[in-house]
Structure 1
Amino acid sequence: MFRRREAVPFTFVAEADRFRSNVTPPPRERPSFSQLTGRTLVGLTVVAGLAGALLFGLPSLESTQSPGHAQQSEASDGR
């Protein structure tokens, strides 16, 4: 394999790392009250949905069964 003689083939690529602009970007606009309220409501809805899913899903994850209820499949009936 051959090596290039120049470290960077184009000068503007090497100067691009050092370039600084003297133009400052405009300040960011503050979100309005309705935007903040909407974001808050969306966040609360997502959190409430996750909490509800956890609340309704936990009983189905329990492995304990009541002693009076024995679960049997049809294949174990011995027909």
Structure 2
Amino acid sequence: MFRRREPVPFAFVAEADRFRSNVTPPPRESLGRTQMDARTLVALTVVAGLAGSLLFGIPALQPNQAPEKSQRSAASEGR
């Protein structure tokens, strides 16, 4: 760490840069089988939702093209 060049009015402010806590955080709990399965299911659901939105969204964004043959309903052909 670098030393301050200007004087600091309070000693604890100057020492705050190099202060280390002697309290260690608790160790992380390992994930259980159920939690891993739940996280995997959530991830798969999100990925499937994104893939589905692409599957249905991309054709909707394509410009409309006029059909080559005009389609008539059966009711209009009988006239």
Distance 1:28 1:47 in 2: 28
- TM-score norm. by structure 1 comes to 0.67
Unaligned runs of at least 5 residues, structure 1: 1-5, 70-79
Unaligned runs of at least 5 residues, structure 2: 1-5, 70-79
Distance 1:37 1:10 in 2: 53
- TM-score norm. by structure 2 comes to 0.67
- Structure with more relative contact order (C-alpha pairs < 8 Å, separation 6 or more): 2
Matched letter for residue 51 of structure 1? A
> 4+ runs of 1 displaced by more than 4 Å?
none
Give, in angstroms, the shift of residue 25 of structure 1.
Answer: 2.0
1:25 matched to 2:20: no
Distance 2:13 2:51 in 1: 52
Identity %: 69
The count of residues paired between Structure 1 and Structure 2 equals 65
1:35 matched to 2:62: no
**For the aligned residues, what is the CA RMSD?**
2.3
